Amino acid sequence: MADLALRLADAGVGVVLLGCGVVTGLRHRRIGLVMATAGVAWFLGYLAPALVFLHRGPMVHLHISYPTGRLRRPLAVLTVVGAYLAAAFDAIARNPWLTAGLASLVVAAAGDLFARTSGPARKAAVPALAAACGFAGVLALSSANSLLKLGADRAVLTT
């Protein structure tokens, strides 16, 4: 029963990403496309185990480029390109050291963007920074779980 609940919750994440991407894309084409791509990538992991981490590329892109979908800083570009490359190769995506490095890059890129934002946009950037740091925290937790052999796979899946 717990496995069914976990599978339904996991599928719910993909549905929300895909649905929100479509709805958001009606007004903000670029960010909606990135979000919908994350949703599609989420479901591709069901089709082939080698694609289970594919969603990381578009998720990092979403967090680093929100709300415009544009990558405005060199560190942001480096982080997103690295995330897509790592996500495309299962052996790289499964490496806990590289996952920890990606988590660090996400925090650094999001912090860089936030630090360089001013005026009214800075207030709007607070939730984007929090979301990026939260996603980086999940990556870091996954990495720590593997490196330290915590056996907290279910806890990582539910965060």
Q: What is the pLDDT of residues 38-70, one digit of tens each?
A: 999 999 988 888 898 999 999 999 999 988 888
3-state secondary structure of 18: helix
Distance of CA 138 to the CA centre of its chain: 9
Q: Count CA atoms within 13 Å of residue 93 on its CB side.
A: 18
The pLDDT score that the predictor gives to residue 90 is 84
pTM over 0.95: no
pLDDT band at 13 (very low <50, low <70, confident <90, very high): confident
Q: Is the pLDDT of residue 157 over 70?
A: no
